[in-house]
Each structure stands twice: as C-alpha cells, then as structure tokens.
Amino acid sequence: METLNGNSTIKAFGKQGNTVSQDINLVNLETITNHNHRGIWGWFDTRRDMCQLTIKVFMLAILINTPKPDPVLCAMFIGWIFHFHHGCIHMSWMIEMQTKQMKKIQKCFNTQECVQEISTHKEGVEVPADFASQGEIEFKDVNLRYRPTTDLVLKNLSFKIQAGTRVGIVGRTAAGKSTMANALCRIVEIENGEINIDGMSTKNVPINDLRDKITVISQEACLFSGSLRFNLDPKGLYKDSDILALLKRAGLEKLLTRDKVNEKDRKEKESKDKDADSKDELDVEITEGGANLSSGEKSLLSICRAILRKNKIILLDEATANIDIETETKIQHLINTEFEGCTVLTIAHRLQTIVKCQKVMVMSFGKVVEFDEPQKLMKKPKSYFAKLVAEIEKEETQKEAEDKQQKMLKEGESDKDKESD
C-alpha cells in the first residue's frame, strides 16, 4: 500500500530500480524465512517419528514377551500404539497454538506498559466555559526535552502573544518552532515552566478539552476516504448551507461537480434529510488521503474545516509549503478574512507569508531572539530577521531562475518535436 501511494513520487525521482531491488530483497528475505520455518518443522517431525517408532518397537517387544496375554487387551494395546502417532501430532499442534496465544497475550501486556499521556488536571479545579475564548497565549520559562537522555529543545522559552494577533514564527532548522507547537497542544509534556491560555495553565485543563480549543493546520492535509461533507464536518454539527457558502468563499465551486459517492448511500442520506440538493452537492467522493485532489485543494479543505470549528487559536505549521504562490495568495486571503479576531500562529519560510503577519517571532536554539513587528525588524540590518529575509529572497530568486530554465528547456524540446513532425 505504501508503494502504491508513493508511486508518483518514485517515478518523479526516477527511483524505480531502487524500489524494485528493495522489493526483491524483501521477497527473498520472506522466502528464506519460510524455508527455514519448514526445514525446522521437517527436522522436528523426523525426530518425533523416530521417537514414536522407538516407543512402538519397545511396547510391541514387551507385548510379545508377555506370557499368555489376553487377546482383547492385546488388540486394544496394539490399537493404542498405532494411534499414538496421531496423538503426538495433535499434542505438538496444541503446544504451538498455546505458544502463539501466549505471545499475543504478552503483546497486550507490553502495549499496556507503553507511556500514556499524563492527565495533569487537578480535581476541584474547574475549567471555565469561556476557556480559550480570547486567544491570549503566554509561555513562562518553558523547558522541554523529548527524552530524559537528550538535550533541551526549548530553553527557558518566554513570550506573550496578545489575543487576536497574527504571529509569524521563523527560524532555522532545529530552532524549536514545531516543538513549541507540540508543547502548546501538549503532544509533548514540558519539563518545567508554564504555558497559559487566557491566564489559565494548560496543565489544569484536560488534554481533550485543550486540543479541542486549538485548531492545527499541518503541512500534510489530513483527509479521509468518504464524502466531502464527512471530511469537512465529521461530527455533523453544521448546516449544509453554511458548508456550501464557505466552499464558495474559498473558491472551491468546481469541487462540487466532481464524482459523487455510491448512489445507494446517497439515496439513503437523501431519504433522511429534506434538503436533497445540498446533500447531493456535498456527496463528492474524496479518496483516501485526498489522492483525487490537488495540493492546493487539500490545503483549502483543511482551512475550511478549521474555519467551521470557529476556534480562537489557530496554528498553521508549514501549511502552505507544498503549494504555488498563486494558491498561497488565495489561502492567505481566506485566512485573513475568516480568522479575523483570532490568534493565528504561522510557522512558515516564505517571505510573502511572513511579512503579512502583525508580529514576527524569530527562534534560535529553543529561544526567542526577536519578537516585534516585521517592518521594525527589517529596519535593523543586523537583526536575525533581516538576515533570514535576505537568505529567503536569495533562495526564492534562485528557484525562480531554475523554474524559468526548466520551462525554456521544455519549450525548446517541444519546438524540436514540431519541426521533426
């Protein structure tokens, strides 16, 4: 299944030979394992048969040397001797089955020993109904490491983001940007320090309630096999008219004319709801992982799903990294319009995404080195942000030049083909 899902990527990088070689090696490994398994069982069967034959000869010798044996007892004894072979086979099979069952039970116990998410919610501490209704975020001397034996990833991280502020988070690789997002959602528990949302520590909030108040839009859009409605509103909390209006604002009208889901399922849904027209429009089929959609469409659907939740804290982790500039402009317009008044944290590398934020947080080695408006930081040539912007501009210019070169080569090849025809 992984090879089928990544088939286009394998072809794009020309790695068909490596993939086939890897598949052949895996098949050879499985074949060798099966041969070893059958060989061991053959050896075991041979040894077992030899033991049975020895026991049979010994018992028959005793029976023959017995003076004046009872014929009935002799017949029964001989019958049991020849059934002894089947009894041994059955006993071996039972031992093997019991061993497999015990192995499965052991795996279940090992699963229970896995580290579970810790619920630090204190009894008697009530979570207010309006928790995270404003969107103010504050980190106080937060330290975090992924394992006890590793170094700190976040080191005394401290900052405060006012409610309704759009913040761009930038930094080099391993600066701690995504780790900060994981700490906010309590994917990884902090070692010490405190994280507050609207003045309340996240430690005193149940994990499920905390994550329900934070909307995360990741780089890889998470879509499931099913209808468009199910992917946007899996719990069925919103009206179809609201979903349709949102899709039209996002510029996804063409998506509503795609192939519908199974006709039988559609009719069942229509019989349960009077609004058959909107039901039909939202029954567009989405394949697993959104394989029948473009990267831009998948990103837009993820943002539409986030808009429907109407949370005040939005976290975009490289959400526009895999799409073109034109689609990103459309997404940024949708974010600025629909998330107005929300606290938006954007982890990004593109200059166009960063500059439009109200504030920019520059991280380096798990600390905040700069936190101010992007225009003010740009006026300081020696600032970390100014240096990052210069590097990003250089990378974007180089990429544009490479794209133009590839386009010219393709046009030249097409012209040659036309001339040869």
Asked if residue 144 has pLDDT above 90, the reply is yes
pLDDT digits (tens, 9 = 90+) for 152-170: 999 999 999 999 899 988 8
pLDDT of the residue at 140: 92
The pLDDT of 322-336, averaged and rounded, is 74
State pLDDT tens for residues 254-268. Answer: 777 765 554 445 555
Average pLDDT over residues 66-78: 76
**Sheet with strand 154-161: strands edge to edge:** 154-161, 137-144, 192-197, 200-201
Flag whether pLDDT at 28 surpasses 90: yes
Predicted confidence at residue 276, as pLDDT, reads 45
Mean pLDDT value across residues 333-344: 84
Q: Highest mean pLDDT: which of 28-37, 86-95, 280-289?
A: 28-37
Check whether 178 has a pLDDT greater than 70.
Answer: yes
Q: Which residue has the higher pLDDT, 348 or 179?
A: 179
SS3 286: strand
Mean pLDDT (the chain, rounded): 79
Would you state the pLDDT for residue 262?
A: 47
Partner residues linked to 58 by β-bridges: none
Alpha-carbon distance of 314 to 214, in angstroms, equals 6
pLDDT beyond 50 at 324? yes
Please state, in angstroms and rounded to a whole number, the distance separating the CA atoms of residues 395 and 172. 14
pLDDT at position 420: 58
pLDDT of residue 278: 47
**Gap between the Cα atoms of 210 and 203, Å rounded:** 9
Cα separation, 155 vs 38, in Å, equals: 56
Evaluate if residue 216 carries a pLDDT over 60.
yes
Cβ neighbours of residue 61 closer than 8 Å, sequence gap 6 or more? none
CATH class given for the domain over 137-222+298-395: alpha beta
**For position 196, what pLDDT does the model report?**
93
3-class state of residue 136 by DSSP:
coil
Q: Is the pTM of this model over 0.85?
A: no
For residue 141, the model assigns a pLDDT of 92
Q: Are 88 and 46 in contact (CB under 8 A)?
A: no
Inform me whether the pLDDT recorded for 17 exceeds 80: yes
Q: How high is the pLDDT of residue 304?
A: 87
Tell me the two tokens of residue 155: 């080191």
Q: CA–CA separation, 301 vs 389, rounded Å?
A: 30
Strand segments, DSSP code E, in 264-384 are 285-286, 313-317, 343-347, 359-364, 367-372
For residue 20, the one-letter residue type is V
Sign of the alpha-carbon torsion through 253, 257, 261, 266: positive
Check whether 273 has a pLDDT greater than 80: no
Q: Does 104 score more than 80 pLDDT? A: yes
Task: Give which of 262, 349, 255, 237 is closest to 301, Cα–Cα.
Answer: 255
Look at residue 404 in the predicted model and tell me its pLDDT: 67
SS3 of residue 408 by DSSP: helix
| CA distances for 332 relative to 4, 148, 319, angstroms | 33, 39, 11
CB-based burial label for 168 (10 Å; 0-12, 13-18, 19+): buried
Whole-number pLDDT of residue 275: 46
Cα–Cα distances in angstroms (integers) from residue 318 to residues 155, 184, 217, 321, 385, in the given order: 23, 16, 8, 5, 18
Distance CA 291, CA 289 (A): 5
